[in-house]
Amino acid sequence: MLDIDEWLPGLRGGTRRRAFAAATTLLVVLASHAMRETARDALFLSGLPATRLPWAYLAIAGLSLGAGLAGRPLLGAVSHRALLVATLLVGAAVDVVFWWISPGGASGGLFALYVWTGLVATAVTVQLWLHLAHVFDVGEAKRAFPVVAAGGLGGALAGSALASVVVSFLPVRSTGRPPSPSSPSLLPTTTPGV
């Protein structure tokens, strides 16, 4: 039988609980992103030429920089956890809006969806790690962050695997709308202890 104390010798009590909660959160965030990324890539490339991809990445980079600079004053006024939860909720709400307004797959909407997905993934990942930097002290972080990172790796793998299964059964345009990943985006807001 596997003894958790032998497997993770440095993680005890509250540190273990927080590490597993953080790993679960990162798992769900990255699984959600992998599924969203698959959907956005398929939709983008089915409706727009690949030559527009560099512009999408430049937009993601520019908007991420702008959002980071604009959000700096919030870091002192709002907790990292509250900012993370708010970003997840806004991300889910905007995802639902994209789902409702994009039945035709207009090129502007596909481009905006592509940029939005990258922007949300960047913001959520950075905010989660900033929050974890305040939750764990340096000694705890050395022991807990490999567990958290493993959760992220598991999420990326699980999300990609699930997306490949879904794509093999549903054609890209089967519903006429991009899938709304709002449910997976909301799951991390309910993860206790992080």
pLDDT in tens, 87-141: 999 999 998 888 887 666 677 788 898 999 999 999 999 999 999 999 899 988 8
pLDDT of residue 5: 52
pLDDT of residue 9: 57
List of residues 6+ apart from 85 with CB closer than 8 A? 189
pLDDT of residue 184: 45
**Of 19 and 99, which is predicted with more confidence?**
19
Full-model pTM: 0.77
pLDDT of residue 104: 62
The domains of the chain are located at 14-190
In CATH, 14-190 is 3.30.565.10: no
pLDDT of residue 115: 93
The lowest-confidence range among 39-48, 60-69, 87-96 is 39-48
% of the chain exceeding 90 in pLDDT: 39
